[in-house]
Amino acid sequence: MNFITKFKNISQKNNSLLCIGLDQADYDFNKKIIDQTADLVCAYKPNSAFYEAQGISGIESLKKTCDYINSLAIPIILDAKRADIDSTNQGYIKFAFDYLGADSLTLHPYLGRQALQPFLDLADKFFFILCRTSNPGAGEFQDYHQLFEKVAENVSKNWNSNNNCGLVTGATYPEELKKIRKIVGSMPLLIPGIGAQGADLEKTVKAALDGDFLINSSRGIIFSDNPRQAAKKLKEEINEYH
How many CB atoms are closer than 10 A to CB 164? 21
* Cβ pair 204, 177 in contact under 8 A: yes
Active site residues: 81
With both helix axes pointing from N to C terminus, report the angle between 201-208 and 227-241 in degrees, rounded to the nearest 10.
50
Taking the domain 3-241, which CATH number applies? Answer: 3.20.20.70
> What is the enclosing helix (H) or strand (E) of 138?
none
Residues ≥6 apart with Cβ < 8 Å to 159: 113, 116, 120, 129, 165
* Cβ pair 74, 44 in contact under 8 A: yes
Q: pLDDT tens digit string along 93-149?
A: 999 999 999 999 999 999 999 999 999 999 999 999 999 999 989 999 988 999 999
Q: pLDDT tens digit string along 179-232?
A: 999 999 999 999 998 876 778 999 999 999 999 999 999 999 999 999 999 999
